[in-house]
Chain A
Amino acid sequence: MRLALAMVKADPEYLRALSEAIGSVHAQLKQCRVCCDFTSDEVCPRCADARRDHTTICVVSQPQDRMAIERTGVFRGVYHVLHGVLDPLGGVGPGDLRIDALLARLHRDPSDAAALPGVEEIIVATSPNVEGDATALYLSKLIGPLGVRVSRIASGVAVGGELEYADVTTLHRALEDRRRL
């Protein structure tokens, strides 16, 4: 919003240059083959990092939320970006989210010795509102039966609030106080 206001005031020449730059960044952005986060490589730095805990996946609705959680510095696992939340009234169903890619990460080929260790826990970190709660619950119904633990971050975040705006300490606590779904 603040950016949009600043742009209204900026001069047209500058704006043209800016929009071209944004366009080219966008063209370079791909989605990570594993977690669907935006990245400039095939696989994002987090998925490629063997020092991270690949048995725990934190599921977020958008890349900004991944960044917010990464800033807390407490989470050492990997991420999965859904690119949306369930919203039947807005016409968004499970098929519109990157859920298949998430399921694919849970199926490990036991004969592949080089494969990463299997996923043990999914932490759903969607915003605490109707859509975010429904997404979390849906995932627990889908993934729970596969023998993977599904939990939800605690709503230390203001109820009805947006995750992106939550401050670092609140998010930190919310992650640690997650509850099983």
Chain B
Amino acid sequence: MNIQALSVHDYRNLAEAELSLGPGFTVLHGHNGAGKTNVLEALYLVSTLRSFRTSDLGVVVRSGTEASRVVVRGFDAGLGVSSTLEVRLERRGSTTRRVATADGKTVRSGAQFYGRVRAVLFTPEDLGVLRGGPTGRRQFMDRVLFGRERGHIADVQTYEKLLRSRNRILREEGLPAAERERLLGTYETGLAQTGARLWTRRLELLHELQARFSGAFASIHGEAGEQADRGGAGPVASLRYECKLGPVSAAEREPTLLQALLERRALDERRGGTSVGPHRDDLVVLLDDQPAGDFASQGQSRALVLAFKLAEVQTARERSADGTPPLLLLDDVSSELDPRRTALLFRTLGEHAGQCILTTTSPRYIDLPAQVETRRYRVDQGTITPDPAIA
């Protein structure tokens, strides 16, 4: 969907904020803590019904108020109509209710809502993902999939619930053996079904990004002038999905996972948790066939993540049924990258031909191609005002 306007009510520090978006770039600038990331988070909420910063949606409701509302108006090229999407979060004690409406009608299942606004998010935290733990990399892959596959969010939630259920039964004492067997079998069947789907989607994602990722890394590398150090040819970057169960054909994934769960019951009981499945897999980024996480420099590992994101943007547009490029949400990117990589990023953004919202502490960092329409806003203590003055 092409977004024309965003309005945010009582979301984090944004009491009332209105923003109109053009077809190209929108730059939000302001001090740290002004509320810039909150705007991106609100847009991401309309895209995925989730936050990228917290799993407890209650914390995003503005302090002292009980409900948040985010409204997006735009033109849905797929449906050929103007459309208004709204997400309301209502805090009730310790729980928070999510209500999504499309053109005034309540949307009962998330699957009907996901995909109306497809967003690609890039935050400074992403840059550390290669050097951090596997949890961050699994989330990194799943977040990409949330924007691509309607069923992925529901499957991740189902999988997590099944996993906690199996672990609970493993730890339960005094269950008769036959009963325990039946209960474990019940949850393992579900885990194998949903787990195989998660596994397959992540493999397909990496497979699809592979070539563009290698290409993007090569150009970033060349751009950064590091090629000369290595006598011309830079290292080749590639992606690998790491799973204890090894490469398994699509049809064999579910039975293989089921078998592994069965075989590991005793081990898992001792450990008090499930030791196999997509919640234990990892994304491995290779440089010349060596896992980059172990030895890549800080600059290299950032360049690798940037290459991944650029590949994601390219494939997202190709995948969209009506050719609409995804909405890019770029948070604080320039503060974390060196000038040459930033320049490459902006050049790629210029080719993006879609809507892109960037945040920065200083508009100086933002050097966007002049031919693309750019709107600028100033964010200050939760209020947003148009700022045409800065060129």
Contacts and interface: CB of A to CB of B under 8 A. Distances in A.
Interface of A: 86-89, 93-94, 130, 133-134, 137-138, 141-142, 158-161
A159 B165 contact: no
A159 B182 contact: no
Nearest 6 CB-CB pairs, A to B? Answer: A88-B168, A138-B186, A88-B165, A137-B186, A141-B182, A130-B161
B179 interface: yes
A106 to B, nearest CB: 16
Interface in B149-196: 154, 158, 161-162, 164-165, 168-169, 172, 179, 182-183, 185-187, 189-190
B168 A133 contact: no
Contacts of A87: 165
Contacts of A134: 162, 165, 186-187, 190
Given A88-B165, A133-B190, A161-B109, 7 more contacts: A86-B183, A88-B172, A89-B168, A137-B189, A138-B182, A158-B108, A160-B110
B192 to A, nearest CB: 12
Nearest to B194: A130
A138 B180 CA distance: 11
Contacts, number: 47
B368 interface: no
Contacts of A159: 109, 111, 154
Given A130-B158, A130-B162, A138 B183 contact: yes
Contact of A160 (B154, B165, B168, B189): B154
Given A130-B190, A134-B187, A158-B109, A89 B165 contact: yes
Nearest to B160: A130
27 contacts: A86-B183, A88-B165, A88-B168, A88-B169, A88-B183, A88-B187, A89-B161, A89-B164, A89-B165, A89-B168, A93-B183, A130-B158, A130-B161, A130-B162, A130-B165, A130-B190, A134-B186, A134-B187, A137-B186, A138-B186, A141-B182, A141-B185, A142-B182, A158-B108, A160-B109, A160-B110, A161-B109
Nearest to A158: B109
Contacts of B154: 159-160
A133 B185 CA distance: 13
Contacts of B189: 137
Nearest to A136: B186
Interface residues of B, number: 21
Contacts of A158: 108-109
A180 B212 CA distance: 44
- The interface centre, meaning the residue of A86, A88, A142, A161 with most chain B CB atoms within 10 A of its CB, is A88
Contacts of A94: 179, 183
A130 B186 CA distance: 11
A140 to B, nearest CB: 9
B161 A161 contact: no
A55 B172 CA distance: 36
Nearest to A162: B108
Interface string B240-272: 000000000000000000000000000000000
Contacts of A142: 182
Contact of A161 (B108, B172, B179, B186): B108
A137 B258 CA distance: 15
Contacts of A93: 183
Nearest to B179: A94
Contacts of A133: 190
A138 B165 CA distance: 13
Contact of B190 (A88, A137, A160, A161): A137
A157 B158 CA distance: 17
Nearest to B182: A141
Nearest to B183: A138
A86 B186 contact: yes
A160 B111 CA distance: 10
A94 to B, nearest CB: 7
Nearest to B188: A137
Contacts of A89: 161, 164-165, 168
A86 B179 CA distance: 13
Contacts of B182: 138, 141-142
Contacts of B110: 160
Contacts of A161: 108-109
A175 B324 CA distance: 40
Nearest to B151: A159
- The interface centre, meaning the residue of B108, B110, B162, B183 with most chain A CB atoms within 10 A of its CB, is B183
A130 B179 CA distance: 19
- The interface centre, meaning the residue of A94, A130, A138 with most chain B CB atoms within 10 A of its CB, is A130
A52 B162 CA distance: 37
A93 B183 CA distance: 9
Contacts of A138: 182-183, 186
Nearest to A86: B186
Contacts of A160: 109-110, 154
A159 to B, nearest CB: 7
A160 B114 CA distance: 15
A6 B187 CA distance: 41
Interface in B295-324: none
